[in-house]
Amino acid sequence: MSCSKGHICQCLSRILALRREAAVTVSERHGTRTGRQFVEGVLGLARGLARLGVGRGDVVAMASLNSEWYVEWLLAVAFVGGIAAPLNYRWSVEEARAAVGLVSPVMLAVDESCRRWVPELQGASSLPVKHHVLMGESPRCLSGNGSVIDQCGIKMPVESPEFDHIWAPEDVAFLCFTSGTTGRPKGVAINHMALIVQSFAKIATVGYGEDDVYLHTAPLCHIGGISSCIAMLMAGGCHVFIPKFDAKAATKVIEQHHITSLITVPVMVADLASFLGTKERWTGRESVKKVLNGGGGLSHALIDAAVKMFPNAKIMSAYGMTEACSSLTFTTLHDPSSPKIGVQHQENKEATSDPAFCQLGGVCVGKPPPHVELCVSGSGNKGAPVVGNILTRGSHVMVGYWNRVTIGVPDRRLNGWLDTGDMGWIDDNGNLWLVGRKKGQIKSGGENVYPEEVEAVLSQHPGVSCAVVVGLPDARLTEMVAACVCIREGWEWADHAYAHSTDRKQLSTEILQTHCRQANLSRFKIPKICILWNRPFPYTTIGKLKREEVRKEAVSFVQFLPSSL
């Protein structure tokens, strides 16, 4: 195997050189481990896995809350040429069984939170799992198909570190699961080089470095958590673990360990803001210097909240996907060293020099890092800008989707370009504007409507907590635009007779239509009907909206409305 190829375990020699006796991992449950202890732990586990027969191309499935042991397993499996397949600890047993059946692992390693899966998976004779292991340094063990092992029993002593790692076929390091809002999970095969170039992108763009103290807030079963973890390993920083995100636990750890960097998704920012709103003083706000948001854009209110919580931090947002090994673009929302830096929806739209851009809509998600190529189908260097399929290519793109035998050719790749499934356009400053998902596109009266754009406008109304826009069958328009709306506490849904009352906090279809017109939303994009939604919207276990379920319920609702609509 050529030594010119990149391998994620190349970080081990750097960690040993930079932090031999300095802290590399910290957790409340397991204390602190130095760089030497961490590297010896990875190498000892790797030797033990090899002794059990885990080798090149073997898949090891893992299900655990965040911990230093999780990171140790990710690296040890890769070290022996295996392929780690992180499973989502939020899955049901049925979902776990489907994922395990897809990737055919030789070993399943779980912690206490996922121990309940083991008897169920052991009973499925069609699954090839040879060993079941309980993660962590615990004397307890699990049995699997006749074998009885635990992590302590697997590890072998390491007299002197040797870094002769092995590459899996196609250089695959991880299988990360993704799925649509319906259907079964797909295993996305990510190779070593994709993880390394993503690490370089985050080190260069976000500024991760060896002096960072990084708090693991995102699950290590998701590509966002994995890619930032690898980036911090490459940078040589210190990792601080909490099992899973909780606003109270996170704020305590940020204060206690002087956290300098973390990643978020919008709900985390909202939860932190809500929790810290009850505290008169919070010293953790001083240490945080880097916050990277993913999993959806932050509203203006959440950006303001993030700046208030972390005034010394450079706050960035990333747009990406599992098939591209996380981030495709980055945008700076706040930089304390340059207060004027930041990309906001309206400001950027007005700043574009070509007036044709201003009619296309969408949310600005910034520019790609150097290693990422992006383009929009149907657009060229000359002529009017158009909304098209967002395509990407480069070493960050997945090897393919996994099947039971080998890696499948990416079914969304064309001439080297991967179709992201998103629609957008690129302005004259090189910024990508995200318009919406191609699958969610609504065809109304011959015009294309992207739900995300309408949802963004609706969510700007002070009475709207969140909104989901769907297309409903319509004889004249083919589809009509409908909005399902959750309203904020203190507001009420009004019928037409009271919809224009000025002394009460009320919402109705008419009021929200007026709001959309005032926000300059094109007439054909304005919802024909708004439906009050009294419970949380349905999401998959990896956080994707089940838009089709919302649409089906909305169809049932409108069947009882007057035909004049």
Instruction: Give domain status of residue 99, yes or no.
Output: yes
Euclidean distance between CA atoms 107 and 54, whole angstroms:
8
Euclidean distance between CA atoms 63 and 547, whole angstroms:
28
Per DSSP, the chain holds a count of helices (H) and strands (E) of 15, 31
Query: What kind and span of H or E run contains 386?
Result: none
How many other CB atoms sit within 10 Å of the CB of residue 460?
15
Give the bridge partners for 390, in sequence order: 376
Euclidean distance between CA atoms 11 and 14, whole angstroms:
5
Euclidean distance between CA atoms 237 and 226, whole angstroms:
15
The residues near 463 (Cβ < 8 Å, ≥ 6 apart) are 487, 488, 491, 505, 506, 507
Instruction: Give domain status of residue 455, yes or no.
Output: yes
The Cβ-side half-sphere exposure at 195, using a 13 Å CA radius, reads 34
Euclidean distance between CA atoms 70 and 218, whole angstroms:
13
pTM over 0.85: no
For 122-164, list the strands marked E by DSSP.
131-134, 142-144, 147-149
pLDDT of residue 340: 66
Instruction: Give domain status of residue 292, yes or no.
Output: no
List the one residue out of 397, 398, 399, 379 whose CA is nearest residue 389.
379
Euclidean distance between CA atoms 211 and 259, whole angstroms:
11
Structural domain boundaries, residue 454: 442-558
pLDDT of residue 264: 94
What single-letter DSSP state applies at residue 358? G
pLDDT of residue 146: 44
pLDDT of residue 229: 98
CATH number at residue 518: 3.30.300.30
CATH number at residue 136: 3.40.50.12780
Instruction: Reduce the DSSP state of residue 55 to 3 states and report it.
Output: coil
Instruction: Give domain status of residue 134, yes or no.
Output: yes
List the one residue out of 392, 381, 388 whose CA is nearest residue 435.
388
Instruction: Give domain status of residue 278, yes or no.
Output: no
Question: What does each of the 565 residues of the chain score in pLDDT, given as a tens digit?
Answer: 444 589 999 999 999 999 999 999 999 888 999 999 999 999 999 999 999 999 999 999 999 999 999 999 999 999 999 999 999 998 888 888 888 988 999 999 999 888 888 887 776 666 778 888 988 875 554 444 444 477 777 889 888 888 899 999 999 999 999 865 445 678 999 999 999 999 999 999 999 999 999 999 999 999 999 999 999 999 999 999 999 999 999 999 999 999 999 999 888 998 999 999 867 678 888 999 999 999 777 878 889 999 999 999 999 999 999 999 999 999 999 999 886 665 444 344 444 445 455 567 788 999 999 889 999 987 555 566 788 999 999 999 999 999 744 554 455 556 789 999 898 999 989 999 988 888 888 988 878 888 988 998 999 999 999 999 999 988 778 889 999 999 998 999 986 544 555 557 899 999 999 999 998 888 889 999 999 999 889 887 666 788 889 998 998 887 655 443 4
Residue 16 and residue 36 in contact, taking contact as beta carbons nearer than 8 Å: yes
Per the structure, the count of domains in the chain is 2
Longest dimension (CA), the chain: 81
Query: What kind and span of H or E run contains 252?
Result: helix 247-257
Instruction: Give domain status of residue 396, yes or no.
Output: no
Instruction: Give domain status of residue 286, yes or no.
Output: no
Owner of token pair 């990333």 = 318
List the one residue out of 534, 547, 530 whose CA is nearest residue 484.
530
Instruction: Give 3-state DSSP helix, strand, coil % of the chain, rounded to 5.
Output: 30, 30, 40
Instruction: Reduce the DSSP state of residue 469 to 3 states and report it.
Output: strand
Residue 391 and residue 321 in contact, taking contact as beta carbons nearer than 8 Å: no
Write out 196-218 in H/E/C secondary structure: HHHHHHHHHHCCCCCCCEEEECC
Query: What kind and span of H or E run contains 256?
Result: helix 247-257
Q: How far is CA 19 from CA 33, 141, 207, 214, 233, in A?
A: 10, 32, 19, 15, 11
pLDDT of residue 405: 43
Euclidean distance between CA atoms 293 and 300, whole angstroms:
14
* Strands 447-449 vs 442-444: parallel, antiparallel or unpaired: antiparallel
Give the bridge partners for 448, in sequence order: 443
Euclidean distance between CA atoms 367 and 377, whole angstroms:
17
pLDDT of residue 357: 52
| Boundary (domain end) residue, out of 201, 228, 243 | 243
Residue 127 and residue 100 in contact, taking contact as beta carbons nearer than 8 Å: yes
The residues near 120 (Cβ < 8 Å, ≥ 6 apart) are 93, 96, 97
